[in-house]
Amino acid sequence: MRLVSKVASIAMIAIFALGLTSIPTDAAAKKYKIFLSMSFIGNDWQAEAANMVKAMALHKNLADKVDLQIQVAGPNAQRQIQQINAMVQAGADAIVVYPISPTALNSVVKNACARGVLIFAYDGSISEPCAYNISIDQLEAGRVTAEWLVKKLDGKGDIIVITGVPGVSVDTLRTKAAKDVFAKHPGINIVAESVGMWSQAVARTELSKILATRNWDSIDGLWMQVGCYTANAMQLESGKKPADLMPCAGEGANGGRIQMLPIGTEVEGASSPYAPLNAPRISYASPPYSGGYALKLAVAKLDGKDVPQEIVLPLPIVTNETIQLCNEGTWAEMKAGCNAFLPSIVPNPGWFASIFSENTPEIGLNGALVGQPEL
How many CB atoms sit inside 10 A of residue 167's CB? 18
pTM of the shown model = 0.90
Low-confidence ranges of the chain (pLDDT < 50): 1-21, 24-28
Question: For the domain bounded by 12-135+287-313, which CATH number is listed?
Answer: 3.40.50.2300
What residue spans define the domains of the chain? 12-135+287-313, 138-284
Q: How far apart are CA 107 and CA 82, in angstroms?
A: 11
Query: Cα dihedral angle (156, 160, 161, 164), rounded to 10 degrees?
Result: -150
Cα 82-54-340 angle, rounded to 5 deg: 120
**CB contact at 8 A, 331 and 360:** no
Q: Ramachandran region of residue 27, left (φ > 0), alpha (ψ -120 to 50) or beta?
A: left
* Fold: same for 12-135+287-313 and 138-284: yes
Q: Which pLDDT tens digit goes with each residue over 313-370?
A: 999 999 999 999 999 999 899 999 999 999 999 999 999 999 999 999 999 999 999 9
Residues 127-163 pLDDT 10s? 999 999 999 999 999 999 999 999 999 999 999 999 9
Query: Which helix (H) or strand (E) element contains residue 15?
Result: helix 12-18
pLDDT of the residue at 10: 37
pLDDT of residue 23: 52
**CA distance linking residue 298 with residue 213, whole number of Å:** 50
Beta strands in 207-339 (DSSP E): 221-224, 248-250, 281-284, 310-312, 317-319, 325-326
**How far is residue 166's CA from residue 77's CA, in Å, rounded to a whole number?**
12
DSSP letters for 125-159: ---STTSEEEE--HHHHHHHHHHHHHHHTTT-EEE
Output the CATH code of domain 138-284.
Answer: 3.40.50.2300
Side chain identity at residue 208, one-letter code: S
pLDDT for 53 equals 98
